[in-house]
Amino acid sequence: MKYRRMPIEIESPEQMGYDTIKYNLTESSCADLAMSELDLDLQGLLVAYCDHRGKVELRDLIARDSGLASRDEVLMTPGAAGALFIIATTLLGPDDHLLVVRPNYATNLETPRAIGCHVDIYDLKFEEGFDIDLARLTAMLHPRTKYLSVTIPSNPTGVVWSEARLRQLIALAEDRGIKLLVDETYREMTFAGPLPVAASLSPAAISVSSLSKTYGLPGLRMGWIATKDPALQEKFLAAKEQIVICNSVVDEEISWQFLRRKAVLLPGIRREIAERFALVRQWYGAQDELEWIEPQGGVVAFPRIKPGLRVDVDRFYRVLQEQHGTFVGPGHWFEMDRRFMRIGFGWPKREHLVAGLQAISAAVRSART
Ligand SMILES: Cc1ncc(COP(=O)(O)O)c(C=O)c1O
């Protein structure tokens, strides 16, 4: 493995220091929760090794929620990040081929690169609404392709493909005898209601998700892999056992006690996201410097400074950070032009969100040439 640190992690707010940022619009999750908000009872918990697949009741709950047949189809992992690592290292060797859709969450690109396999990238285009041209995608598959990697809803664009598109991708994977990896970390935040869990539709699909984004619990490091392919799930388990044996029993217990209240909690979370998105839309409608493909899910948007506008992009980021104390996710975090920026609207206080959005407009204006 040839590991390299990713800009999105090197430049992340937790590495830069939260206290250096006034308006933090870099985050891709809902606001972090405090332990006191979780209503937990952990006193009786034995701090032992636990079920290597993950707490039975927790997997039952996730399986039921995901339209899966049994808890055996769910493997708990250290975050969605851990899930993606397990999947890539299980399925890919140096001679294998992978097709990844970009822009994407950086780990979906970087771990396969660290493995040294052949990585082809399907670049989504702004002009095509960040949707897929199925014929162009199909032409990029290869006899040695092991899987096709997509993220729905997308990080960083917030675009959600249709259910028909998801089913086409699954049919393509089935037809080619490959796997479709769907990173569904933002699935429950889809504005119009979530697509089916991909893994529930076919053994050719692998789904990944976590508690980090929707529930504001990224510090728990609790995610999962869902697949209806038992032999593959056994290999994923082997990988997990060699990395961590099992998850933290504390994290699993907290996750279960929390997720039991999901039916009560989720409507409020979705309402909060809708209200925040309305603020972003209001700002977007009142400015003329940026353009976007309107997000349909998640808590991020990925606008770009209009191509016709003459702007010194480095100056834009400098002014934004130094004069306005505002941070966004610059395009290079996603191997995209730096005129693109990811704006996270789920995490900051509402007044900070509004101030940060105004700062973006002001910084673009002051960086015009
Ligand atoms: C699409 C996507 N997948 C996976 C992750 C990793 O999340 P975690 O490991 O916190 O569950 C992220 C985090 O930003 C993400 O955006």
pLDDT tens-place values along the chain, 369 residues long: 999 999 999 999 888 888 889 999 999 999 999 999 998 999 999 999 999 999 999 999 999 999 999 999 999 999 999 999 999 999 999 999 999 999 999 999 999 999 999 999 999 999 999 999 999 999 999 999 999 999 999 999 999 999 999 999 999 999 999 999 999 999 999 999 999 999 999 999 999 999 999 999 999 999 999 999 999 999 999 999 999 999 999 999 999 999 999 999 999 999 999 999 999 999 999 999 999 999 999 999 999 999 999 999 999 999 999 999 999 999 999 999 999 999 999 999 999 999 999 999 999 999 999
The Å distance, Cα 158 to ligand 1 centre, comes to 14
* Amino acid, single-letter form, for residue 313: V
Find all residues with CB under 8 Å of 151, minimum gap 6, and list them. Answer: 101, 104, 105, 108, 182, 183, 184, 185, 186
State the closest ligand 1 atom to the C-alpha of 210, by its place in the atom list counted from 1. Answer: 11
State the closest ligand 1 atom to the C-alpha of 104, by its place in the atom list counted from 1. Answer: 1
Q: Which of 159, 210, 211 to mutate to test the pocket of ligand 1 (most atoms within 8 A of CB)?
A: 210
Instruction: List beta partners, residue 182.
Output: 150, 207
State the closest ligand 1 atom to the C-alpha of 186, by its place in the atom list counted from 1. Answer: 1
The Å distance, Cα 185 to ligand 1 centre, comes to 6
Please say whether the beta carbons of 115 and 88 come within 8 A: yes
State the closest ligand 1 atom to the C-alpha of 83, by its place in the atom list counted from 1. Answer: 9
Kindly report whether the global pTM for this prediction surpasses the value 0.95.
yes
The Å distance, Cα 261 to ligand 1 centre, comes to 22
The Å distance, Cα 288 to ligand 1 centre, comes to 31
Longest dimension (CA), the chain: 64
Q: Which one-letter DSSP state was computed for residue 146?
A: E
Rounded distance between C-alpha atoms, residue 100 and residue 256, angstroms: 32
CA-proximal residue: ligand 1, atom 4 (nearest): 80
Question: What angle is formed at CA 8 by the lines to CA 321 and CA 258, rounded to 5 degrees?
Answer: 105
Domains and CATH numbers, the chain: 7-33+265-366 (3.90.1150.10), 48-262 (3.40.640.10)
The Å distance, Cα 343 to ligand 1 centre, comes to 16
